[in-house]
Structure 1
Amino acid sequence: MTDLFAPEPVPTRVKRRRWPWVIVFTIVALLIAVAAAAFVYISHLSSLYDQAEKLPDSQVFPDPTTRPTVPAANPDATNILLLGSDTRGSMGKDVEDIRGQRSDTIMLVHIPSDRSGVQVTSIMRDNWVPIPGHGENKINAALAFGGVPLLVETIEDIVDVPIDHVAIVDFEGFKGLSEAVDGVTLNNAIAFSSNGHRYEQGQITVKGDDALNYVRARYPFTDGDYQRVRNQQAFVKGLVAKVISKDTLTNPARIADSVGAISKFLAVDSGLTSQVAAQLGLEMKDLRADDIQFLTSPTTGTGMIGDQSVVLPDWDGLRALSEALKNDTVPEYAATQK
């Protein structure tokens, strides 16, 4: 006999219909969670970068009336002046800490309009050049005479393109960054010893004090600053390769450690915000280590001016470099220098 009071069975198809919605809601919840985590992570990276000292324009750029115009051929190119200082400590309250002879590395970083690569030109500190308002002297003396604005003006007079941003990093930052990425592998051209550290010829990995000493070393070489510049370029190339490697880019903790390691030893112009830096990074997301090219500003060798040993600029070569920067043809220019 049928039980008239028994509850009717719930159709199984109703239960089955609920499952797709459960899956959809779960996926949405996961996406929201991932997005929230990504936002927190990006905000964390931004806060780490913002630990870098921000310099007002008056401490970075010269009078606008003295500056070159933006090249018509590549208005979207970006030029960043990278200065390496040897203050042996975190950046101070202002840019005074990097004046004088402690600013040992000068690099002009050119990012072309199409973001297809990066060209880094090292300028040796002993280049004998005209310094506005101070006659001829070593280019590094511009810092002692008038700080970063005078150095920017001096370099802009030589290359005739505007410098958009300035970044100043203490060498101690290289030490921390090499530790954050667990060592920098580079190709060392000349075996040498310095301050108790030994560097064999060929592929080596440097980290911490070993890395710091490597980029500082000058006296072990017969050509002094020339080889130091080459070593610094080798280190930066190896560092970039490590930073953009899969091992680093897939390791959020390592990325955060890298940003945190460098930011407290970094000073940038107020316009080089975390948003601007992130946008540049996004525009160059497909960049590979081989897309970064290193050059040295052309010279004719060394000489003596009075009692000073100086580097003599190749002015014809510098005019050619200037045209290459204006027209985004630096790789073609570099090919003629080999």
Structure 2
Amino acid sequence: MDEHGEQEPTQRRSPLRRAGKLLLTLTLIALAFAGLAGGALVMLSDRLAGQVERFPDVFSELDPEQRPPQTPMVTFLLVGTDSRAGRPTTGAAAPGTEFTPGSQRSDVVMLAQVNADGSRAGVVSLPRDSWVDVPGHGTTKLNAAYSLGGPGLLVHTVESLTKIRIDHFAVIDFSGFRALTDAVGGITVNVASPATTEGFRFHSGPNHLDGAAALAYVRQRKNLPGGDLARVQRQQSALRALLESAVSDGMLSDPLRTYRFLDTLTHWVSVDDTLTNSALRSLALDLRSLRPGNITFLTAPVSGLGQEDGQSVVYLDSRRAPRLWRALAAGNLEHYVRQFPDSRLGNSTR
């Protein structure tokens, strides 16, 4: 506690500093990748991979003829749910993956795409309040799709919006994000201006956060310029910091620490049932050359904020957004970023 009775973010300093190889995962409200050193791939045993909870039939109700075409890239829909329950709602510790309409909304929605050669990736956040067409339900907020119809409807909505085929789905809740943050020894984020939320105070510059402080950091939207859009940047910043912590300074060359991290990860994340144990191992091999520095983070372009049916919404830019979707579909996100360099996530957040 400081002199004002507020809790300071945890000040532990992780020594992690070295890049490693990557395995698919979702972190945030996570939802995305965790680093794997060579020995860690061996440790992705059937026991660990078998702990990952699978969502059945995510893609089964989608009409194959109406879906976007397949591409050499691999695209994931990463979701973080807004559950604040004391018990897990995702992963092996959850009661199950049977979806109950209205039980959860997707607080975080990200498209993560890996290039065909596995050397580069892009993560694009879709603001949860985006005003979009949800098939069968009219125009409403993007996060309502998950609440109304679960993973399948959210996949259908995002594919209809972007014309990009989604290959896999992964979800984690707030409790899982907090556990993963603690499992890597905390994360370091840069904050542009002092901010206070949920009893935590973040100062200007680098802040090293444990799981509880990191969760408060990504949840905050009040008193931030841009509201939900600022929170999207915080979510991406936390994801990037989590990746950097997970793949650096010897953590993944230490079998015990690596095992503990993978054990935490596989307990909390849920994925679609096409990601079998062997598919997870194959994916890790395909991504072995990917590094955190080769992952581009950006947000879908927004033209403005507004009100619809008494609720605050985000309007996606009808001119720039299609250019982003075309760049992603072509596996050429770098071309879009060269045209719109301000779209890339910066080194600090509000």
Change beyond 3 A, Cα 1:317–1:132: same
- Separation in 2 of the partners of 1:116 and 1:148? 28
Matched, 1:170 2:166: no
- Are 1:61 and 1:153, in contact at CA under 8 Å, matched by a contact in 2? no
Matched, 1:207 2:203: no
Matched, 1:62 2:50: no
Change beyond 3 A, Cα 1:102–1:190: farther
1:162 deviation in Å? Answer: 0.8
1:5-62 deviations in Å (ceiling 9; x for gaps):
xxxxxxxxxxxxxxxxxxxxxxxxxxxxxxxxx9998356442232121111247763
Cα-Cα RMSD: 2.3
- Which of residues 127, 131, 136 is equivalent to 1:133? 136
Identity %: 34
Task: Describe how 1:190-201 pairs up with structure 2 within 5 A.
Answer: 190-201=193-204
**2:72 alignment partner in structure 1:** 76
Matched, 1:245 2:248: yes
- The gaps in structure 2 that reach 5 residues or longer are 1-37, 343-350
Change beyond 3 A, Cα 1:95–1:229: farther
Task: Describe how 1:301-312 pairs up with structure 2 within 5 A.
Answer: 301-312=304-315
**SS of alignment partner, residue 324 of structure 1:** helix
- Separation in 2 of the partners of 1:44 and 1:82? 21
1:123 deviation in Å? Answer: 0.4
Task: Describe how 1:253-332 pairs up with structure 2 within 5 A.
Answer: 253-332=256-335
- Are 1:132 and 1:153, in contact at CA under 8 Å, matched by a contact in 2? yes
* Greater share of residues in helix: 1
- Are 1:49 and 1:263, in contact at CA under 8 Å, matched by a contact in 2? yes
- Are 1:183 and 1:206, in contact at CA under 8 Å, matched by a contact in 2? yes
Query: AA paired with 1:208?
Result: G
1:225 deviation in Å? Answer: 0.9
**1:188 alignment partner in structure 2:** 191
- Separation in 1 of the partners of 2:203 and 2:321? 34
- Separation in 1 of the partners of 2:311 and 2:163? 27
Per mean C-alpha deviation after superposition, the further-off stretch among 317-326 and 84-93 is 84-93
TM-score normalised by length of structure 2: 0.79
**SS of alignment partner, residue 111 of structure 2:** strand
Count of equivalent residues: 297
Matched, 1:219 2:196: no
1:145 deviation in Å? Answer: 2.2
Work out which structure has the larger RCO, using CA pairs closer than 8 Å and 6 or more positions apart in sequence. 2
1:280 deviation in Å? Answer: 2.4
Larger Rg: 1
**SS of alignment partner, residue 309 of structure 1:** strand
**SS of alignment partner, residue 260 of structure 2:** helix
Query: AA paired with 2:82?
Result: D
- The gaps in structure 1 that reach 5 residues or longer are 1-37
Change beyond 3 A, Cα 1:117–1:60: farther
Change beyond 3 A, Cα 1:268–1:61: farther
- Separation in 1 of the partners of 2:251 and 2:102? 34
1:298-327 deviations in Å (ceiling 9; x for gaps):
110201123121100112222111211121
**SS of alignment partner, residue 76 of structure 1:** coil
1:165-192 deviations in Å (ceiling 9; x for gaps):
0000112111111111111122223321
Change beyond 3 A, Cα 1:307–1:326: same
